[in-house]
Amino acid sequence: MADHPSLMRRLASALRRHPVLFPAFGLALAVFLVFAVRSTMFAVYWADPAHRDQQIEGWMTPAYVSHSWHVPREVMEAAIGSDGPKLKGGKPTLDRIAREEGVPTADLIARIETAIATHRDTAPSE
């Protein structure tokens, strides 16, 4: 095994010979780590049974409801409206979507619950 000073000299020499390669590798490694941590956090969060079939509330986004209730995106799009929310800035919460449509949030949630129930009744079992 090489001693520490020798390894450091070799790394310094490689850095002088490839001044763009090392920072590019460092950046690629950082991006990989960010995505690996996010993916792990996502998997752990949705694996928790407490996050499955949660009571639908106005603060939730359509994507959150779709993940929680394990329904395809198309089911949510159909319940919300064919063209989906066209909101500027921020995440499209159910409260914001209802306000944009001019309907009470409870009515939008009822439409979503009906769409989920219909999907679960008609979709083949997994």
pLDDT of residue 52: 86
In this structure, the answer to whether residues 26 and 65 fall within a common structural domain is: no
**70 Cβ neighbours under 8 A, 6+ residues apart:** 52
Q: How far apart are CA 94 and CA 115, in angstroms?
A: 15
- The 3-class secondary structure across 68-118, one letter per residue, is HHCCCHHHHHHHHCCCCCCCCCCCCCHHHHHHHHCCCHHHHHHHHHHHHHH
Give the count of domains, the chain.
Answer: 2
pLDDT value for 47: 84
- Are 31 and 72 part of one and the same domain? no
Task: Say if residue 93 is in the same domain as residue 112.
Answer: yes
Residue 24 shares a structural domain with residue 60? no
Tell me what pLDDT residue 123 has: 77
Q: DSSP state, 59?
A: T
Structural domain that includes position 17: 4-47
In order along the chain (126 residues), what is the average pLDDT of each group of 10 residues?
A: 76 87 92 96 87 91 92 90 60 90 94 94 76
How much is the pLDDT for 73? 87
Residue 101 and residue 116 share a domain: yes
Give the pLDDT score at 12: 87
- Does 42 share its domain with 59? no
